[in-house]
């Protein structure tokens, strides 16, 4: 029996009471939240939270995802953090992705980012509310659909052949990223408005880069700032596109392209057409969202193929056997594109491993749960596509570049490089076409040396790009063979 004084007894009883109350309240909370799990993580100071750590990763050559990796190691696959005053939950798995993407616009929506909305325009698909989004997507989708790509394939392929040949003849090292940025940009401008004139392309290129940079900047019109320059560039772009639309309406020019298909609806009822500012804002949106993403994916395909020679060899064999069946110099067709089963798998594996869009951000529109975890209204949930694509339960040996793994059908929401649901990437098919044409012409026509082995990433980029730009020197296959 313990021999306690009266004071000691009072302290022990008090401590016991506090302990019991604490345990009871925890048990009650757990019961009332229906066995909901707490999401671990660190919220840090109010408003600031872990913003500086995020910015440090974003500004470094390790890339923005370097913010996520150490937190995952410390807290587990699910974790929470606070960035720019908002609570963010990183959702690491395909089931979480399914719950969020299948409830897009209902339980979740994209957050409003002022700089993005102003640079892309208030009518951009990125920003419009659900009712307009549905109508606009329906009307914008047609030119991106599977039914009308033949003309695009021929034009893009011819351009690709000519430019690669010129680079090989020049014998100089060139940056794949820069090359693909220009190819991708010229391709989209031709497809949207049939623009091929160099001086006009150059003008739109410069302005769209400045306007694109304003999308991730502090939205204050301070002369000289990124935002200021970007908004001025946007104004010039709108003027240029408005003039082109006016010339088309006056009948001074016509073409078979995206813009013309929009203008053909001029006499349709309002629900069946887009007004001029909707057309312009979305043409800008396509340029912003399509150029860097596609070019970066093309760049990673070169890097991965360089590092995996056995994959390169199998791919080359397939592409050469396709070329042999065609007259010399004939451009690729839609049928050829569908006749590259290994090429498609290389493309998929490139997208899985490069994770061009690292995570997909949404905001909870009401309190809800995801896999038993409580999400409060206003919290940001980020579908961590990178984590899904490297999940060893979904992809055996996930760090290995192995196109053959796509022989098996993927589980739903486990391969999501283009998102899913009502906001699935609108340019998905076009991006795939560009990548396959590039892969075909590169691997089927050339070998190459990689002229910089540095693996560090470009700082201040949300899309992971090699800092070196992936410089290569081409050698035509016929030359390589005659030397061998």
Q: Which residues are annotated as a binding site for heme?
A: 425
Q: How far is the CB of 286 from ligand HEM (least distance, A)?
A: 4
413 scored as a contact of ligand HEM (CB under 6 A): no
Taking contact as CB under 6 A, which single stretch among the options 42-50, 153-161, 418-426, 437-445 is the one that binds ligand HEM?
418-426
Which one, 192 or 315, has the nearer CB to ligand HEM? 192
The upper half-sphere exposure of residue 213, i.e. CA atoms within 13 Å in the direction of its Cβ, equals 14
Which one, 168 or 176, has the nearer CB to ligand HEM? 176
Q: How far is the C-alpha of 422 from the C-alpha of 175, rounded, in Å?
A: 35
Q: How far is the C-alpha of 345 from the C-alpha of 350, rounded, in Å?
A: 8
Q: How far is the C-alpha of 458 from the C-alpha of 461, rounded, in Å?
A: 6
Q: Which two tokens stand for residue 243?
A: 């003039």
350 scored as a contact of ligand HEM (CB under 6 A): no
294 scored as a contact of ligand HEM (CB under 6 A): yes
Which one, 126 or 174, has the nearer CB to ligand HEM? 126
Taking contact as CB under 6 A, which single stretch among the options 233-241, 247-255, 311-319, 417-425 is the one that binds ligand HEM?
417-425
Phi, psi of 86 (to 5 degrees): -115, 145
Which one, 290 or 471, has the nearer CB to ligand HEM? 290
Q: How far is the C-alpha of 285 from the C-alpha of 26, rounded, in Å?
A: 49
Which one, 168 or 192, has the nearer CB to ligand HEM? 192
Among 230, 427, 444, 445, binds ligand HEM (CB under 6 A): 427
DSSP 280-341: HHHHHHHHHHHHHHHHHHHHHHHHHHHH-HHHHHHHHHHHHHHHHTS-TTPPP-HHHHHT-H
Q: How many helices (H) and strands (E) does the chain have?
A: 18, 11
Query: Are residues 443 and 150 in contact, defined by beta-carbon separation less than 8 angstroms?
Result: no
Count of other CB atoms within 10 angstroms of residue 236: 16
Binding residues for ligand HEM restricted to 47-86, rule: CB under 6 A: none
Among 194, 208, 289, 414, binds ligand HEM (CB under 6 A): 289
Binding residues for ligand HEM restricted to 131-190, rule: CB under 6 A: 137, 188
Which one, 398 or 421, has the nearer CB to ligand HEM? 421
Among 290, 343, 444, 471, binds ligand HEM (CB under 6 A): 290
Residues that bind ligand HEM (CB under 6 A): 125-126, 137, 188, 285-286, 289-290, 293-294, 297, 356-357, 360, 417-419, 423, 425-427, 430-431
């Amino acid at each position: 029996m313990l021999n306690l004084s009266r004071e000691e007894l009072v302290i022990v009883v008090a401590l016991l009471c506090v302990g019991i109350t604490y345990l009871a309240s925890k048990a009650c909370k757990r019961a009332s939240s229906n066995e909901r799990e707490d999401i671990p993580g660190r919220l840090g100071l109010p408003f600031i939270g872990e913003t500086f750590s995020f910015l440090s990763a974003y500004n470094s050559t390790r890339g923005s995802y370097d913010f996520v990796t150490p937190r995952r190691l410390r807290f587990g696959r699910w974790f929470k953090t606070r960035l720019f005053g908002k609570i963010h939950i990183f959702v690491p798995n395909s089931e979480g992705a399914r719950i969020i993407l299948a409830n897009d616009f209902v339980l979740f929506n994209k957050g409003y980012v002022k700089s993005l909305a102003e640079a892309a325009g208030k009518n951009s698909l990125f920003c419009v509310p659900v009712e307009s989004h549905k109508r606009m997507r329906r009307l914008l989708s047609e030119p991106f659909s599977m039914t009308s790509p033949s003309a695009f394939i021929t034009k893009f392929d011819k351009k690709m052949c000519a430019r690669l040949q010129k680079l090989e003849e020049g014998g100089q090292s060139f940056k794949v990223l820069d090359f693909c940025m220009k190819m991708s940009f010229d391709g989209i401008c031709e497809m949207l408005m049939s623009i091929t004139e160099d001086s006009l392309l150059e003008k739109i290129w410069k302005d769209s880069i400045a306007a694109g940079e304003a999308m991730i900047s502090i939205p204050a019109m301070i002369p000289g700032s990124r935002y200021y320059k970007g908004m001025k560039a946007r104004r010039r772009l709108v003027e240029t596109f408005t003039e082109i639309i006016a010339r088309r309406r006056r009948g001074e020019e016509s073409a078979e392209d995206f813009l013309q298909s929009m203008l053909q609806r001029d006499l349709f009822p309002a629900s069946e057409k887009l007004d001029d500012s909707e057309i312009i804002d979305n043409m800008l949106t396509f340029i912003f969202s399509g150029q860097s993403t596609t070019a970066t994916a093309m760049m990673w395909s070169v890097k991965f193929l360089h590092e995996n020679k056995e994959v390169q060899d199998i791919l080359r064999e397939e592409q050469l056997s396709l070329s042999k069946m065609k007259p010399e110099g004939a451009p690729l067709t839609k049928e050829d594109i569908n006749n590259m089963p290994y090429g498609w798998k290389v493309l998929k594996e490139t997208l899985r491993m490069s994770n061009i869009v690292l995570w997909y951000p949404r905001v909870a529109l009401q309190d809800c749960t995801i896999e038993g975890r409580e999400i409060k209204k206003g919290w940001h949930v980020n579908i961590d596509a990178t984590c899904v694509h490297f999940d060893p339960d979904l992809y055996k040996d996930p760090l290995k570049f192995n196109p053959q793994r796509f022989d098996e059908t993927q589980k739903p929401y486990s391969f999501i490089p283009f998102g899913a649901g009502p906001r699935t990437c609108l340019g998905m098919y076009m991006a795939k076409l560009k990548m396959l044409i590039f892969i075909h012409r590169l691997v089927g026509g050339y070998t190459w040396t990689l002229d910089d082995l540095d693996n560090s990433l470009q700082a201040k980029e949300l899309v992971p790009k090699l800092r070196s730009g992936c410089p290569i020197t081409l050698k035509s296959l016929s030359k390589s063979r005659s030397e061998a």
